[in-house]
Structure 1
Amino acid sequence: MESQRCKGMRDLLPDDMGKFRYIEDTFRNCCTKWGYREVRTPSLEYLRLFTATGTLTPSRLSKAYSFLDWDGWSGERVVLRPDGTIPIARLYLENLSFPARFFYVTDIFAFEQTGKENRERWQCGVEFLGGASPMADVELLLLAHELLHSLGISGVQLRLSHAGLAKALVKELGLSPRDEARMLGRILDGDWQAWKEAKSNNLELDKFLVSLVNFKGKLSDFLKKVKLPAEGTSPELESNLSNFIDILRLLDDLKCDYQIDIAAIHGFEYYTGICLQLFSRGEKIGGGGRYDELLSLMGSKSMPACGFAIYVDPVIKMLSLKEDERSESGVLLRGDEKKSRVVEACFSLAQSLRSAGRIVELDFAGESVADYRWVVSVSGEESFVIIDQKSGEKWEVRTLPQVVGILGVD
């Protein structure tokens, strides 16, 4: 029988895992310093968590892995987590009632027809539950910048849009509820062509919409080129535009680089405010936004909230890490397993080195191909040959303390 992994699934080999742990550790360190605390949610959630609230667009729900959790008599549909934020909101509602800053490392699952794209996707997420002011949005944007800088990811582009502004604009078009929902779903799924088809009965509004959707740049140019109609627009549209401008002004004050790109909005149906997308080398590596209505949709009182996620899979491909600890200071111990005193000496030396913080691999079969800096061959109780594979130097010594001394272990 042929052995192969499932379509759309990915194995992480040792080098991949080294990068994965580096991302995870860097992310955890950054978030902890900003006052965020780590949480974890189950891989399985009830399907109703994602359907009853209308929190996911139909296209996203169609890609969820769902099945019946059968107990022999009845059952309920469950899903493999298709989103990271909604389970965190559930966790919050079940356990807390005060503002909270959370972070998490999790996998999400989404069906992809061809199987050529990942169906399991890892992400490092941050959620600020209770953060209401524009400063909360700015905090997350700066945290995302710091994290990617700490990972050594260069050329990061921050693209900003606003879900509240987009939703208010769609309402201004005077569409039927069905057509409005369809258009909004297309916009949130990243279909920028939907904007081109948007027309209203207000010529000034149409001009505003075209200038807004086509604009790419910073706030200073935005204020010059994008003008709200003098009359005929709703307070909701004006309020969301004002909120967007307030956030951009704060980013300018803090010298945070960004690009306004309303047409590039791509997010979840529960987003209500600023939306962010992070790109590097032409690939999307993160995204997020504000979702003030999510908790109320889930049956709780209204709670302002915002968050973002860094996508681990593309970031792994961009990392170029320095030599790992094995090639820098690791030790490969070789000996003859048929000689009991040699075996005893190997285990004794390995224990001493590991206690001093070194990585040590025992190789009694002479088959290891691992890239260690030091190779120590033990041929007897008082016979050790040491090779530094970095410099090519070689020593022959007779005692364990001499070995430890050459390896530079305190």
Structure 2
Amino acid sequence: MKVQRCKGMRDMLPAEMDVFRPVEGICRDCCTGWGYREVRTPTIEYLYLFTSAGTLTPGRLGKVYSFLDWDGWSGERVVLRPDGTIPVARLYTESLPGRGPVRLFYAANIFIFEEAGEKTRERWQCGAELIGAGSAVADAELVALSLEVLKKLGLKGVELRLSHAGLIKALLVKLGLSHEEQDRLFDRILDGDAAALAGAGGKSAEVGNALKPLLGFKGKSAGFLRNQRALLVQDVPEIGPHIDDFLKTVALLDDLGCKYKIDIASGAGFEYYTGMIFQLFIGGEKVGGGGRYDALIPAMGGGDVPASGFALYIDRLMEMVKAEDIAPAVPERVTVKIKSGGAVKEAFRAAEGLRRAGYIAELDLNGEKAASRWTLEVGGETPYILSDSLKSRRFEVKTIGEVLKRLEGEGGDKDSPA
């Protein structure tokens, strides 16, 4: 039987890794430039981490990979992490409690069960979390950082959509529904279903119909939101504080020159969001998002600590970037051919000398035609023969030092485009 990878999981071949690493590297460089430090969390976490605090919407919980982790006669149900933020919040609560503000970032794979089809079940993300800062400036920092990453990846046509979880939840409380019904509607609204309120029954349906226009309004400036506030608080005064909170961040984004679209019925599928939510789209495809989650760390027993963060979807970014625009310079490659059995030791030494000088030195093991421009033959009548396939030239040299001079003199750059 021919072996196969698990359904929905992903292998990355060398050509794909040549794109993955630069994308990941740009994410890492941008995050470190803003003062964020990298962390790693386990692939497996306890299931209760995602259920006891109501951290994931019911729709997301139905897509986790869970199983029993047996320890002797008992077992604890665990999951393959379906999200990057929650494990980092757990890491902070467990290992860095009380410190703030703390800037952390990660690059990790997450696992979400999807029905058989084109969708992958293993996905890669790069995320940043700003823990211990509850201001609009912190929210604006994360939006600006995420946009900087996309800009440095050379991506254009980025659409930034803004919403506010506190505003949505205040509207749902106004419906007078049970907590379970509020969670269900919140889940649908976060998935972009502005008509979700139509499902409320009885008296709530009348209230829902009155509130639907509030979920449907869209704008592109803080001025628009201020004008809407004057109208909205007349019908639902409870949303006033949430609009004021939203306005602080939106006004900062205006000052920073960020273009955005306010779309209240737009979220990210996570119940833990409490404040501003943002999503990033390119050509209609979502490439990332984030928001404020001030209740998450308190729910984990970490104290009254505000936090916000975002994640960018590396898999989707890999499909959009132009590899030649982000590929770092790579060393020139030299194939080292062993011409006799007694020359193995010298060939290893020659290859080591090339590597110390900054070249890639690859030993020829099967005698096939070299794919690289340069070939160094070791062990013939002449100590070394350096061949240049690009210019069809051969040089007989006596020392590895002369080999290096020839490489540099003939255009054998140590660094060349990938």
TM-score by length of 1: 0.90
Matches within 5 A, 1:6-405: 6-96=6-96, 97-99=98-100, 100-195=102-197, 209-210=212-213, 212-224=215-227, 227-229=230-232, 231-235=234-238, 237-322=239-324, 325=329, 329-336=332-339, 338-341=340-343, 343-367=344-368, 370=371, 372-378=372-378, 380=380, 382=382, 384-389=384-389, 391-399=390-398, 400-405=400-405
Q: Could you report, residue by residue, the CA deviation over 1:225-250 in whole angstroms, capped at 9, with x for unpaired residues?
A: 66534534234x11111111111111
> For the structure 1 residues 201 and 398, does the alpha-carbon distance in structure 2 shift closer, same or farther, using more than 3 Å as the test?
closer
* Shift in Å, 1:364: 3.0
1:195 and 1:263 in contact (8 A); partners too: no
Q: Amino acid of the residue matched to residue 358 of structure 2? A: G
Q: Could you report, residue by residue, the CA deviation over 1:297-341 in whole angstroms, capped at 9, with x for unpaired residues?
A: 222322110000111111111222236655x622222233x4313
> For the structure 1 residues 387 and 211, does the alpha-carbon distance in structure 2 shift closer, same or farther, using more than 3 Å as the test?
farther
Specify the SS of the correspondent of 2:265: helix
* Shift in Å, 1:161: 1.0
Q: Identity over aligned residues, as a percent?
A: 48
Q: Could you report, residue by residue, the CA deviation over 1:38-71 in whole angstroms, capped at 9, with x for unpaired residues?
A: 1111111111111111111111111111111112
> For the structure 1 residues 377 and 188, does the alpha-carbon distance in structure 2 shift closer, same or farther, using more than 3 Å as the test?
same
Q: Could you report, residue by residue, the CA deviation over 1:353-392 in whole angstroms, capped at 9, with x for unpaired residues?
A: 100121111113124765x342334461525443445x43
2:68 and 2:78 in contact (8 A); partners too: yes
* Shift in Å, 1:224: 4.5
Q: Amino acid of the residue matched to residue 270 of structure 2? A: F
2:376 and 2:387 in contact (8 A); partners too: yes
> For the structure 1 residues 230 and 257, does the alpha-carbon distance in structure 2 shift closer, same or farther, using more than 3 Å as the test?
closer
Instruction: Please say which of residues 171-180 and 42-51 is displaced more in the overlay.
Output: 171-180
> For the structure 1 residues 25 and 334, does the alpha-carbon distance in structure 2 shift closer, same or farther, using more than 3 Å as the test?
same
Specify the SS of the correspondent of 1:239: helix
1:172 and 1:234 in contact (8 A); partners too: no
* Shift in Å, 1:349: 1.8
Distance 1:103 1:373 in 2: 40
Distance 1:234 1:388 in 2: 77
1:55 and 1:294 in contact (8 A); partners too: yes
Instruction: Please say which of residues 398-407 and 117-126 is displaced more in the overlay.
Output: 398-407
Instruction: Please say which of residues 361-370 and 49-58 is displaced more in the overlay.
Output: 361-370
* Shift in Å, 1:216: 4.4
Distance 1:178 1:92 in 2: 29
Specify the SS of the correspondent of 2:240: helix
Aligned length: 404
Distance 2:164 2:328 in 1: 42
Distance 1:136 1:298 in 2: 22
Q: Could you report, residue by residue, the CA deviation over 1:140-167 in whole angstroms, capped at 9, with x for unpaired residues?
A: 0111111111222222211111111111
Q: Amino acid of the residue matched to residue 396 of structure 1? A: F
Specify the SS of the correspondent of 1:308: strand
2:107 and 2:125 in contact (8 A); partners too: yes
Q: Amino acid of the residue matched to residue 161 of structure 1? A: S
Q: Amino acid of the residue matched to residue 125 of structure 1? A: G
Specify the SS of the correspondent of 1:380: coil
* Shift in Å, 1:252: 0.7
1:205 and 1:229 in contact (8 A); partners too: no
2:272 and 2:293 in contact (8 A); partners too: yes
1:333 and 1:361 in contact (8 A); partners too: yes
Instruction: Please say which of residues 295-304 and 360-369 is displaced more in the overlay.
Output: 360-369
Q: Amino acid of the residue matched to residue 313 of structure 1? A: D
Q: Could you report, residue by residue, the CA deviation over 1:257-289 in whole angstroms, capped at 9, with x for unpaired residues?
A: 222122222231000011111112322111111
2:175 and 2:207 in contact (8 A); partners too: no
Matched, 1:5 2:5: yes
* Shift in Å, 1:393: 4.5
Instruction: Please say which of residues 314-323 and 93-102 is displaced more in the overlay.
Output: 314-323
Q: Amino acid of the residue matched to residue 108 of structure 1? A: I
